[in-house]
Amino acid sequence: MSLIKQRLLPGLVIIILITGVFLSFSPAEQVLAADNLKGKIAYVDVMEIFNVHPQKNSAETKLNELAQNMQSELEDKAKDLPKNEQQAMLREYQNKLNQQEQELIQEVLQEIESVIALVASEKEVRIVLDKKNVIYGGYDLTQDVIDYIRDSLLTTNDSNDQGIIEEQPSGDPAE
């Protein structure tokens, strides 16, 4: 019997100590700690920002014009070529178009990333994640970034010829 007491006693003491530590934190302190953490970690929906970004529309317009020009050029050059050379030329044009699309998308994403960093700094946020990687918690910084883009666009272009960023309702599973 004394052997059982010797083995159980240290385990019971540890359990009592751990329980006491947890009970010493009041719910108000737990909420305060969560609020402090909330300001440090945020997330954004990059695709939502990308879809409303005014540069996206101009990039799409450039890409469509390039595609039309390339198609006309391809049709003119490929008329008298054998089928295999036509296919090779088509692949070459498709690769050029894909490369141009990636460059245009990358330009918009770089702009979005710098705005995210700026807004996060203003809000004193230390970490910003993509929304798709968040399961629970954090602060949704998406609308703040969209508002910043909208405000900076309005100050640089009062007529706003490039389009207006509209607020998008967001189903927010991460909040």
Tell me the per-residue pLDDT of 87-103, one tens digit each, with 9 for 90 and over. Answer: 888 888 889 888 988 99
Residue 139, beta-bridge partner list:
42
User: What residues contact 131, with CB distance under 8 A and at least 6 apart?
Assistant: 43, 44, 45, 46, 140, 142, 174
Q: Is there a domain that residue 147 lies in? A: no
What average pLDDT does range 42-56 have in this prediction? 91
Q: Residue 47's pLDDT is what?
A: 93
> How many domains are there within the chain?
1
Q: Is there a domain that residue 114 lies in? A: no
Q: What is the DSSP letter of 166?
A: P
How much is the pTM? 0.60
Q: Is there a domain that residue 25 lies in? A: yes
Complete DSSP assignment for 92-151: HHHHHHHHHHHHHHHHHHHHHHHHHHHHHHHTT-SEEEEGGG-SS-SEE-HHHHHHHHHH
Q: Is there a domain that residue 8 lies in? A: yes
Contact of 13 with 100, CB cutoff 8 Å:
no
Q: Is there a domain that residue 144 lies in? A: no
What average pLDDT does range 157-161 have in this prediction? 51
Q: Which of 29-33, 66-70, 144-148, 156-160 has the lowest mean pLDDT?
A: 29-33
> 19 is in which domain, residue-wise?
1-38
Give residue for tokens 């770089």. 110
| Alpha-carbon torsion (49, 52, 58, 64), positive or negative | positive
Side chain identity, residue 165: I
User: What residues contact 100, with CB distance under 8 A and at least 6 apart?
Assistant: 62, 63, 66
Q: Is there a domain that residue 20 lies in? A: yes
Q: Residue 14's pLDDT is what?
A: 54
Q: Is there a domain that residue 22 lies in? A: yes
Does pLDDT of 38 surpass 90? no
Q: Is there a domain that residue 91 lies in? A: no
What average pLDDT does range 102-123 have in this prediction? 92
Q: Residue 110's pLDDT is what?
A: 93
